[in-house]
Structure 1
Amino acid sequence: MSERKQILKIRDLSVSFHTANGLVRAVRGLNMDVYKGETVAIVGESGSGKSVTVKEVMGIHTPNEVIEGGSIAFTYDSGSGEKTVDLLTISPHFMQNQLKGKHIAMVFQDPMTSLDPTMTIGKQLMEGMMLHLHLSRKEAAGRAVELLQMVGISDPEKRLKNYPHQLSGGMRQRVVIAIALSCDPDLLICDEPTTALDVTIQARILQLIMDLQKKFNISVIFITHNLGVVAKVADYVNVMYAGKIIETGRTEDVFFDPRHPYTWGLLSSMPDLSGNKEDRLYTIQGNPPNLLNEIKGDAFAPRNPYALEIDFEEEPPMFKINSHHQAATWLLDPRSPKVEMPDQLRRRIEIMKREDASNGGN
């Protein structure tokens, strides 16, 4: 097996926002790695900092934002060799002209936020290719037709002349994916790209992203709150809570051997599609912390039925479970009392394991 090549390395990222009520600490010392050709999912409740994190990678900033610290090292082929830059310190001009679209691209939740309603689909597809790949108008038009075919849009020549409002939601999202892939990026960021679509179209879009990722060996960051989606698309999972990653590992680690009580809660609150009506759907009690307030100890402690005294006093470090699985919970400290995951979740994981085995591990 060839050595994994790291293309994104986020260390100690802290991002806050000035609001009328004070400073909101949205991301609090986040660490994350992405390797070539792999899909990394970021999961967590709304407000956990998922979108803020990837917008920093994309260089999308707001006037009230404060980057308190950290670095985002991005490694790419500059054409004259491999180059690593800190995405937090490069100029907006460099980001816009050298990296965005060409090396890093993003698919947003609502395609209408990405598409210009006053421009034809063709013009929007061709724009980036003419800028970054220096294609002629004719060459860009030919590649635009190929891209639309690749993402499953029929009669692509006709669609190039359409405006966004003339397409269905599923077709618009396919166009956005085509635009994102038009300049062969190294890293594709998908921020809840299927939320606004119906279930059938969702499945097709997910399959499309997976197929294109394998075909072009792209690295993908996939943001979602839907754990069912994560199981299908991700190689690695980062579970986020209150601006920090609190469990990280391979998908099978996090789904089959979760260690953080928050991850237990997330997995327990997934709808059970196996037809088992005995178990009521679990809900995590309480609400996420108000990030206007300073957090003492473990941010999840007030909602954690297994919280220890130390959870309210001191933030837990990341405890290593194996070479690719870590979790930030004091329950993993050798001195802590032995706490097992809930029986209901254990039964659910056994079912998931059996289903995974019967599907050949796919």
Structure 2
Amino acid sequence: MNQKEKILKIRDLDISFKTDNGNVKAVRGVDLDLHRGETIAIVGESGSGKSVTTKAVMGILAGNGQINNGTIEFHYADLSPERIQEVIEKYNGVIPEGYTRPEEQKVVDITKQSKKFIQSEIRGRRIAMVFQDPMTSLDPTMTIGKQVMEAMRFHYNTPKKEAWKRAVKLLELVGITDAEKRMKNYPHQLSGGMRQRVVIAIALSCDPEILICDEPTTALDVTIQAKILELIQDIQKKKNLSVIYITHDLGVVAKVADFVNVMYAGRIIESGSVNDIFYDPKHPYTWGLLASLPDVDTSGDELYTIPGTPPNMIQDIQGDAFAPRNPYALHIDEKIAPPMFQITPTHRVASWLAAPNAPKVDMPADLKEKIEKNKKEAKLV
């Protein structure tokens, strides 16, 4: 199947949360596309709306959360058990990657579905999530084996013996040695890195089409972090998974992403290929994020930080939310929020600086120097 087949399409998503202090406008008109086999990253400061957007995709918003507007279209193949058997026999036991017939292709708007439908048909079965802290994802009172088997038993009524064998294979797939023995362990008997591998095995247990990774390596040390990222990439290639990374770590993004979406105050303010964002960023906020990355050759005693703080999302935001922190802000930024300007076929930015009649503003000289050095190291120049 075509690599560019769209699997997820989010349009004009608007989400708020009711609190004692007022409505928090967490997501304000997000557009996002994900294609089969592709990796996208959503980056930004805490509170920018990254996790809320993907929790809406999973149907796990908090009780006080409300989707006010927008659509989340999920495109998937709906094969019945009988059809799966028919296809297996036709292709000698191996279903071709992404196999489907036109009449078996379904498109659902997740925002319009019942909780029961999302729980039985979508969450865990077709879209799975890996959270940042494995100890909050795993039940301390259940063995590892039971937890890996649970989704298979719930979604597909897999017989216990078959589920056990599949769970052992999944633990081996995620790099856990002596998997049979580990099936009988409890979460506290495993290291942090092994627990995260178990969480990934659980997420993969029903062969999902989309894997959402919410800061999957935050609690791990650097060497384990690298191994977990390599593991996810390896499994993605084997299974043609579509992956969404949510992170504030641009180092992780550079290693894993095909496309990057930069979020600020509930909006995507810049999106593009990983090369667009890292080597030709257009938004002053993205400049700030890249400038604040540590660098062994950085001159000066202090690391750059973006001045000011993110806006209070309870209050109405007039104009561009980033304007109070933006040294390059124009007068129009105080009154009207910028639309998305198309820079190239893959690169878009929500900044009035990208308007055809805007004054010419270059990125800071220090950042330009850093980017040129990174380009040379990556052999792009």
Number of aligned residues: 358
Distance 1:280 1:349 in 2: 19
**SS at the partner of 1:341?**
coil
**SS at the partner of 1:322?**
coil
Structure 1 counterpart of 2:314, from 276, 289, 292: 292
Question: What is the TM-score with the length of structure 2 in the denominator?
Answer: 0.92
**SS at the partner of 1:14?**
strand
Q: Percent identity?
A: 64
Describe how 1:198-347 pairs up with structure 2 within 5 A. 198-273=221-296, 275-278=297-300, 280-347=302-369
Distance 1:338 1:318 in 2: 18
Residue of structure 2 in register with 1:19 after alignment = 19
- Aligned AA (1:32): L
Distance 1:15 1:2 in 2: 32
Moved more, 163-172 or 224-233: 163-172
Contact 2:29 2:267 survives alignment (8 Å): yes
1:185 equivalenced with 2:208 (yes/no): yes
Pairwise CA distance, 1:99: 1.2
Pairwise CA distance, 1:325: 0.5
Contact 1:115 1:176 survives alignment (8 Å): yes
Residue of structure 1 in register with 2:46 after alignment = 46
Moved more, 113-122 or 243-252: 113-122
Distance 1:271 1:133 in 2: 47
Describe how 1:92-171 pairs up with structure 2 within 5 A. 92-171=115-194
Distance 2:280 2:298 in 1: 21
Residue of structure 2 in register with 1:175 after alignment = 198
Contact 2:3 2:37 survives alignment (8 Å): no
Moved more, 155-164 or 123-132: 123-132
- Aligned AA (2:47): G
Residue of structure 2 in register with 1:348 after alignment = 370
- Aligned AA (2:320): D
Distance 2:325 2:253 in 1: 24
C-alpha offsets along residues 165-215 of structure 1, whole Å, 9 cap, x if unaligned?
A: 111111110000000011110000000010011111111111111111111
**SS at the partner of 1:75?**
strand
Distance 2:128 2:139 in 1: 17
C-alpha offsets along residues 124-155 of structure 1, whole Å, 9 cap, x if unaligned?
A: 11111123233211111111111111111111
**SS at the partner of 1:239?**
strand
Contact 1:188 1:218 survives alignment (8 Å): yes
Pairwise CA distance, 1:314: 0.5
Pairwise CA distance, 1:48: 0.2
Residue of structure 2 in register with 1:196 after alignment = 219
Contact 1:39 1:233 survives alignment (8 Å): yes
C-alpha offsets along residues 208-260 of structure 1, whole Å, 9 cap, x if unaligned?
A: 11111111110000000000000000000000000000000000001100000
Distance 1:353 1:112 in 2: 39
Distance 2:344 2:2 in 1: 20
Distance 2:13 2:2 in 1: 29
Pairwise CA distance, 1:280: 3.9
Unaligned regions of 5+ residues in structure 2, if any?
81-103
- Aligned AA (1:69): N
**SS at the partner of 2:33?**
strand
Change (3 A) 1:58 1:320: same
C-alpha offsets along residues 88-145 of structure 1, whole Å, 9 cap, x if unaligned?
A: 1111111111111110000001111211111110001111112323321111111111
**SS at the partner of 1:26?**
strand
Distance 2:211 2:379 in 1: 30
Question: What is the TM-score with the length of structure 1 in the denominator?
Answer: 0.96
Distance 2:276 2:348 in 1: 9
Contact 1:279 1:344 survives alignment (8 Å): no
Contact 1:16 1:68 survives alignment (8 Å): yes
CA RMSD of aligned residues (A): 1.4
Distance 2:165 2:3 in 1: 36
Pairwise CA distance, 1:276: 3.8
Moved more, 38-47 or 64-73: 64-73
Pairwise CA distance, 1:19: 0.8
- Aligned AA (1:229): V
